[in-house]
Chain A
């Protein structure tokens, strides 16, 4: 029994190289970077990647289903702006405005996801192009709605989401872990998850066995939109302000984390846990290089190199899978 559990653990670790890489990096930083291994620094890092972690969770669903969502960064910005506008301009930034603000953000994100899903699955638009267009639309709407100015003076109840604790755990971390758990459960233990993998792996075969392709894809995009909105709430709560372009710069990081974590651009493969590890790995690298005083330009090169490797490996893996399918 023990041997089986240990063997399974060993196989789990070695078949998921991002886990191994993250673990090595974490141990190395603990040993060699003096200011790294403190509770404060580690919780700070976790809080820093909380919003990208939540967004990467949602993006994993879309990638696994064979789609893509380049609008997720702009979704983060627009959703946070929606929350801020409702709270400050409609309801005077009172305590009672927090819940409506949060609901406005989540609704905005889910609607963006619904629009994306509908256009991709029902109309048949290319996900890459469509979500790129939606990214521009979201950016434009956010800038117009705010006159290109950040909205501050958010109510204390809202910023508590970004700065508060629950049972000693910072709220952004607790919320992120909840999203990881729920996301992984949905993917691995529900019929929806199984169907999503089927759609991503082989759309035609999934259709032949009766999987409702369009509904599954739409739901994946809605989940991505919802996660983007939640990420926007966390980010704006941490910043204490809703910035019309705050999330837009994070799109590449979110996408990279999901891909590094094993979520294939070609669909049918990946996990939320993998995306989580991808987020952690990229964050550890950023934090480590910052703590070591490595120059900004060198950091860009290191991260770009890692992302390039991940994308290239994903491409080669896909080629090998295709070859094996043709042989078999």
Chain B
């Protein structure tokens, strides 16, 4: 029985295979996971940009597994892609994959998260995390003033410190908070994992009730925030009693919804579509031999609050995706 099933499986895979030779430029796109709308938005626009330019692409997702991402990039190299566009799962470990690409003569384009060693990166579409954190702090102060809070007492969520973005967002916020005299009443390590964020924030809220703001380093954590605050009876809109000033980063569709309904005050918009578009467009040019003058190309940061979301309409990715 076992023999038959295993042989049948192998035969099924055999039949499903066919010669698949790519012609023209092929772009490899390596994503760390699809756990957030931001990554989905990046990948969506990366693929659309490739389609619009008439080039082929191969997308792979590492599911948060560093070893898998290395394997997938090696496979992309074996497949002979003309460039690799990558959001690293681990900014230290990706350096060895960059070396593999360089050895194979394939340019490496970093999107969003920057590798620990940038020397062999052909193009980097970057995010100014310090500007994002500063924008959040500024908005938090405005929100507190609107709500009538004398002092901002903030719970700070921290991302996965293997991600340089998370490191910069926490450093940036701490600096901006210190400048404005905020009190950081608790820090919650999320490791970019919604489940861990939920359990740890729940525990934190059981011990602390004197807070009036939450700093969220990525919008994908907003559903977790909502669940925790609902349990604590603090999920209220701006102007209502006990409202928590929530400021976040990314600008994803859920953040737009929460801001419009008054539960979240602001999000620092880092346009996911711009990341995907610029990375693939740059990769195509590099594949043709046109290297950029500036390796590092930052994406503009926007301050999105209720009024600006309504005014911006379809020009922001969170309203479109």
Contact = CB atoms under 8 A, between A and B. Distances in A.
B75 A296 contact: no
Given A20-B3, A239-B70, A313-B2, A150 B93 contact: yes
B174 to A, nearest CB: 16
B1 A296 contact: no
A239 B93 contact: yes
A286 B96 CA distance: 21
B99 to A, nearest CB: 8
Interface in A1-24: 14, 17-18, 20-22, 24
Contact of A17 (B2, B13, B65, B162): B2
Interface string A246-261: 1101100000000000
- What size tier do the contact residues of chain B reach? 35 or more
Given A33-B17, A287-B75, A291-B75, A148 B191 contact: yes
B1 A316 contact: yes
Contact of A150 (B1, B99, B162): B162
B67 A24 contact: no
A103 to B, nearest CB: 23
B134 interface: no
Given A25-B14, A240-B96, A38 B78 contact: yes
Interface string B56-76: 001111011111101110111
B72 A24 contact: no
Contacts of A292: 17, 20
A157 interface: no
Contacts of A287: 75, 78
A291 B79 CA distance: 6
Interface string B145-164: 00000000000000011100
Contact of A25 (B13, B68, B77, B99): B13
A32 B19 contact: yes
B128 interface: no
Residue picked from B5, B13, B116, most chain A C-beta under 10 Å:
B13
B17 A296 contact: no
Contacts of B66: 150, 239, 243, 245-246
B160 A148 contact: yes
Nearest to A292: B20
Contacts of B91: 150
A219 to B, nearest CB: 28
Contacts of B3: 14, 17, 20
A48 interface: yes
A235 interface: yes
A243 B93 CA distance: 8
Contact of A28 (B2, B17, B68): B17
Contacts of B67: 51, 235, 239, 246-247, 249-250
Contacts of B10: 20-22, 24-25, 28
Contacts of B186: none
Nearest to B115: A152
B92 A241 contact: yes
Contacts of B6: 17-18, 20-21, 309
B298 interface: no
A20 B14 contact: no
B189 interface: yes
Nearest to B72: A290
B98 to A, nearest CB: 10
Contacts of B93: 150, 152, 239-241, 243, 246
Interface in B101-121: 116
Given A240-B93, A290-B71, 9 more contacts: A17-B3, A32-B14, A34-B21, A36-B78, A38-B78, A240-B92, A246-B93, A249-B63, A287-B75
20 contacts: A21-B10, A28-B13, A28-B17, A29-B17, A32-B19, A51-B67, A148-B161, A148-B189, A149-B161, A150-B91, A159-B96, A162-B96, A240-B95, A246-B90, A249-B67, A287-B78, A290-B71, A290-B72, A296-B59, A296-B63
3 closest cross-chain pairs (CB), A and B: A152-B92, A17-B3, A240-B96
